[in-house]
Amino acid sequence: MQLKKTDLTGALKILAADASVFVPGEIEGIKRFVLWDGESDVDLGGANTQLPPKDILFPCTEKMYNYKMGDSIEIKEIVEKPRQVIFGIRPCDMRSIDCMDHVFLEKGFVDSYYSRKRENVTLIAMGCTTPERTCFCDSMGLDPNNAPNADVMMNDGGDTLVLEAYTEKGKAVLEALNGLLSEGGQAKKDTACTLKVNMTPELPEKLAGMFDHPIWDEVTRACIGCATCTYVCPTCYCFDIDSDNHGAEGTKFRCWDSCMFSDYTRMAGGHDPRPTKKERVRNRYMHKLSYFHERYGQHLCVGCGRCVEKCPAHMDITMFIDKAAEV
């Protein structure tokens, strides 16, 4: 099925009737996913959003429960099940949702806060037509033209968007948009990244054996220990849990945390298993390229290139991959 690009606003209006629709947009000079305001044009082309859409399913600060202190404690869980649509999310960011599904929904415990949002979100993905020079998703095993876990997959068809439903949720979307859709449409699906990285199938296991390799002394020194890479990363999911008290009441919340921070693994007694940036960067790279693969069978790096683009020290995980593949 295809949707005329001139009908895009009409289509979004239908979707926005009973859900919050997030689209690629701009706030104060930063391209990111924004709540669609009912009329703005949507920027589906150009560079990918500078910030990933992960905060829609995993907010950077998320309230968990309210409590009352005193002689008798009361705890009241905060339950939110917002109906949300992420429109125009690219295959790299779609793969990051796959990674987060593994983390939050598997291995013994289901994370209720994530699962409630995940169940109620509709993912309308857009095949990438404009990879940046820092994009390397196809080296990480992705197809920039397709997101298998999308509810609806869209691809550019010139004057139209070519739509295909992959799930029941997706079929419901196409039904809702039926009046605006027509049969046919030729989609462009030949996007490839220009940056090719030597991410060999053997690398995850090879890295596991390189924990004490001198390569870490070299590749970690430029790091300034900030959290930019982790906060612009679509797959970094580490969080902290903390309290916010107001008198005898308070709220427990969780918020994004970063393995780059000095207090991240420091224990109450002062012992820190990852005391310097060498151990921290090593853990981050290993997590992305080896540990996660060992645990969940896929890479935790989707090749979106945001960390390469934003690192203050211009550190580059693709240079590390190439170097590690060679040694």
Partner 1 sequence: MGEINHECTCHGNPLVPQVVKVIKITQETPDVKTFRMQTPDGKKPFAPLPGQLGMISVVGVGEGMFSITAQGEDWIESSIKKVGMLTEAFHELAEGQEIAIRGPYGNHFPVEALKGKDLIFIGGGIGLAPVRSLIRYCMEHREDYGHIDIVYGSRSPEDLCFKEDLFQNWPKEKDTRVEITVDRGNETWEGNVGFVPAYVEELAFSPENKKVILCGPPIMIKFTSEALVRMGFAKEDVITTLEMRMKCGIGKCGRCNIGSKYVCLDGPVFNLAELDELPDEK
Partner 2 sequence: MSSIIEELQSTVKKLLEDGTVGYVIGWGATRFPDRTTPVFITRPEDAHKLVWNHYCVNGTAKYALDDRYPEKKIGIIIRGCDSRAVNRMIQDNQLKRENLYLIGIPCDGKENPVCEGCQHKNPLVYDVLIGTPVEEKINPDRFKEVAEFEKLSQDEKYEYWAKQYDKCIHCYACRNVCPACNCKECYADQYRVGWQGKQNNRNSNQVYGLTRAFHVGDRCIECGECERVCPMGLPIMRQTKKMLKDINDLFGDYECGLNDSRPHVLGEFDLQDRDEFM
Compute the least distance from the CB of residue 318 to partner 2, in Å. 7
Query: 84: which strand partners?
Result: 20, 121
Q: Draw the binding track, 1-40, toward partner 1 (x: CB under 8 A; -: no contact).
A: ----------------------------------------
- Separation of alpha carbons 73 and 32, rounded Å: 41
Residue 46 CB-density burial (10 A; 0-12 exposed, 13-18 middle, 19+ buried)? exposed
- Separation of alpha carbons 188 and 109, rounded Å: 41
> Which of residues 145 and 318 has its CB atom nearest to partner 2 in the complex?
318
Closest to 288 measured CA to CA, from 235, 221, 240: 235
Residue of 18, 267, 297, 327 that binds partner 1 (CB under 8 A): 267
> Which of residues 146 and 235 has its CB atom nearest to partner 1 in the complex?
235
Q: Draw the binding track, 155-184, toward partner 2 (x: CB under 8 A; -: no contact).
A: ------------------------------
Residue 52 CB-density burial (10 A; 0-12 exposed, 13-18 middle, 19+ buried)? buried
Q: Kindly give the interhelix angle for 91-105 and 112-119, rounded to the nearest 10 degrees.
A: 140
For residue 254, give the H/E element and its range. Answer: strand 249-256
Rg (CA), the chain: 21
Stretch that binds partner 2, among 155-163, 165-173, 199-207, 237-245 (CB under 8 A): 237-245
Q: Is 240 in the site for partner 1 (CB under 8 A)?
A: yes
Lookup: tokens for 190: 């030949």
Stretch that binds partner 1, among 29-37, 44-52, 189-197, 283-291 (CB under 8 A): 283-291
Residue of 6, 10, 26, 27 that binds partner 2 (CB under 8 A): 27
Q: Draw the binding track, 42-71, toward partner 2 (x: CB under 8 A; -: no contact).
A: --------xx--------xx----------
> Which of residues 166 and 264 has its CB atom nearest to partner 1 in the complex?
264
Q: Which residue has the tokens 């197809």?
A: 143
Q: Which of residues 166-225 bind partner 1 (CB under 8 A)?
A: 208, 211-212
Q: Is 258 in the site for partner 2 (CB under 8 A)?
A: yes
Report whether 220 contacts 282 (CB < 8 A): yes
Q: Is 208 in the site for partner 2 (CB under 8 A)?
A: no
State the Cα torsion 317-319-324-326 to the nearest 10°: 160
Query: 45: which strand partners?
Result: none
Residue of 107, 133, 188, 221 that binds partner 1 (CB under 8 A): 107
Lookup: tokens for 261: 């921070």
Q: Is 319 in the site for partner 2 (CB under 8 A)?
A: yes
Residue of 65, 166, 261, 291 that binds partner 2 (CB under 8 A): 261
- Provide the pairing of β-strand 152-157 with 160-165: antiparallel
Q: Is 315 in the site for partner 2 (CB under 8 A)?
A: yes
How many binding residues for partner 1 (CB under 8 A)? 52
- Separation of alpha carbons 286 and 275, rounded Å: 16
- Separation of alpha carbons 251 and 63, rounded Å: 7
Compute the least distance from the CB of residue 252 to partner 2, in Å. 11
Binding site for partner 1 (CB under 8 A): 64-65, 67, 69, 71-75, 77, 103-104, 107-113, 208, 211-212, 237-243, 245, 250, 254, 257, 259, 264-269, 271, 273-274, 279, 283, 286-287, 290-292, 294-295
